[in-house]
C-alpha cells in the first residue's frame, strides 16, 4: 500500500465510522439530521418533491441554480454517497453550490431511499425518477435537456454509473456525461482477502461487506445480483456516455474503479481516469482545505465544463 499523501497524514488521528448492522441506523439518523449552511449570494436553493417511481413514494430533490441566468443551462443530477445505507443531499451541498456557481449550471441533488429498509433497486429507481423529472420539466426548470450529466461520490458514484446503464437500456433520459468520484461499483470486492489495508481509512472492508449485504439483500459475491445494483458486473459497456473517474491509490475501491475505467475505454467509451497518490476513500471530507483536495475538485469541475460547456 502506498504511503499516505503528506497533506492527508492527520487522518491517522481521526476515527473511522463503524458502519455495521448495529450502528448503521444511528449513523443514518445522524446524517438525516444534517442541516444546510448559509447559501452564498448569487445562488438559489429550492427543496422540491417530484413524482417517484411507479407505486413508490415521491422523491425529494434539492435544486441549486445560479441567479440571473438567461436561457436554459446545462444540468447535473448529483447522487450522494453513504454506502447505500446512510447519507443526505445536504452533506454534499458545498460541492453542489460550487458546481452551480463556478459552471453556471443547475444542480439537482436527489434524496433516495436507503438500504436495508429499501434494498436495490429502490434507490436507483428514485434517482431515475428525479432524472426523468429534470428532462420532462426542463423548460420550467430552465434546463437544456440535451446537456444533462449525472454524477456522484462513493455509493452515489456507483449509482450514477448504474443510472447511465439503465438510461441506455431504457432509451433515456439522455445523458452526455458521467462524473464518478471514487465510485462503489463491485460487490465482489467485499470478498477479497488479499487487500493491504495498512493505509486505508474511513471506509473499511467490513463496512463495505455490510453495505453490499444491505443493498443486495443477500451476501455479496453471489452468482446473481439485482440488475444494475453492481455496475461492474455489467458485461457490455458500449454506448454509455463519456466518463471521468477519480480515485485515490489508497482507496478500497481503487482496483475496481481502475478496472471499470479500462473496460469503458475498451468498449469505446471515452473515460478520463484521475489517480490521487496516497489518498484514501472520502479524503475530500475531512481535508477540504488542502491543496490535494482543491486540485481533485478542480479536475471534476473542468471535466464537467468540457462535457457541458464545450468550446465552440
Q: 154 an active-site residue?
A: yes
Residue with cell 481509512: 201
Q: How many CB atoms lie within 10 A of CB 254?
A: 23
Residue 78 and residue 149 in contact, taking contact as beta carbons nearer than 8 Å: no
Residue 244 and residue 257 in contact, taking contact as beta carbons nearer than 8 Å: no
State how far the alpha carbon of 181 is from the alpha carbons of 5, 66, 184, 194, 281, in Å: 18, 23, 9, 24, 10
> Which among 88, 251, 254, 257 is annotated as catalytic?
251
Instruction: List the one residue out of 51, 113, 52 whose CA is nearest residue 86.
Output: 113
Category of 298 on φ-ψ map: left (φ > 0), alpha (ψ -120 to 50) or beta: alpha
Q: 96 an active-site residue?
A: no
| The three cell numbers locating residue 302 | 473542468
Q: 251 an active-site residue?
A: yes
HSE value, Cβ hemisphere, 13 Å, CA-based, for 58: 7
> Which among 96, 154, 204, 213 is annotated as catalytic?
154
Which residues are designated catalytic?
Answer: 154, 251, 281
Amino acid at each position: 500500500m502506498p504511503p499516505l499523501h503528506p497533506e492527508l497524514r492527520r487522518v491517522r488521528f481521526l476515527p473511522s465510522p463503524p458502519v455495521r448492522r448495529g450502528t448503521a441506523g444511528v449513523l443514518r439518523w445522524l446524517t438525516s439530521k444534517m442541516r444546510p449552511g448559509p447559501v452564498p449570494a448569487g445562488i438559489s436553493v429550492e427543496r422540491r418533491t417530484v413524482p417517484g417511481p411507479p407505486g413508490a413514494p415521491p422523491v425529494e430533490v434539492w435544486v441549486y441554480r445560479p441567479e440571473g441566468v438567461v436561457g436554459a443551462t446545462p444540468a447535473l443530477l448529483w447522487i450522494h454517497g453513504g454506502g447505500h445505507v446512510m447519507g443526505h443531499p445536504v452533506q454534499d451541498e458545498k460541492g453542489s453550490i460550487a458546481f452551480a456557481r463556478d459552471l453556471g449550471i443547475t444542480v439537482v441533488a436527489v434524496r433516495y431511499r436507503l438500504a436495508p429498509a429499501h434494498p436495490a433497486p429502490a434507490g436507483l429507481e428514485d434517482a431515475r425518477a428525479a432524472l426523468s423529472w429534470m428532462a420532462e420539466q426542463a423548460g420550467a426548470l430552465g434546463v437544456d435537456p440535451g446537456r444533462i450529466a449525472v454524477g456522484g461520490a462513493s455509493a452515489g458514484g456507483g449509482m450514477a454509473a448504474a443510472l447511465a446503464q439503465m438510461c441506455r437500456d431504457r432509451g433515456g433520459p439522455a445523458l452526455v456525461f458521467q462524473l464518478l468520484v471514487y465510485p462503489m461499483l463491485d460487490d465482489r470486492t467485499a470478498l477479497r482477502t488479499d487487500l493491504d489495508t495498512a493505509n486505508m481509512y474511513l471506509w473499511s472492508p467490513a463496512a463495505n461487506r455490510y453495505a453490499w449485504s444491505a443493498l443486495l439483500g443477500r451476501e455479496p459475491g453471489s452468482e446473481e445480483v439485482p440488475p444494475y445494483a453492481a455496475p461492474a458486473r455489467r458485461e457490455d459497456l458500449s454506448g454509455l456516455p463519456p466518463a471521468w473517474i477519480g480515485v485515490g491509490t489508497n482507496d478500497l475501491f481503487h482496483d475496481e474503479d481502475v478496472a471499470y475505467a479500462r473496460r469503458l475505454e475498451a468498449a469505446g467509451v471515452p473515460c478520463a481516469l484521475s489517480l490521487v497518490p496516497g489518498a484514501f476513500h472520502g479524503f475530500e471530507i475531512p481535508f477540504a482545505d488542502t491543496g490535494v483536495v482543491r486540485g481533485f475538485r478542480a479536475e471534476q469541475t473542468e471535466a464537467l465544463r468540457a462535457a457541458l460547456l464545450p468550446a465552440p
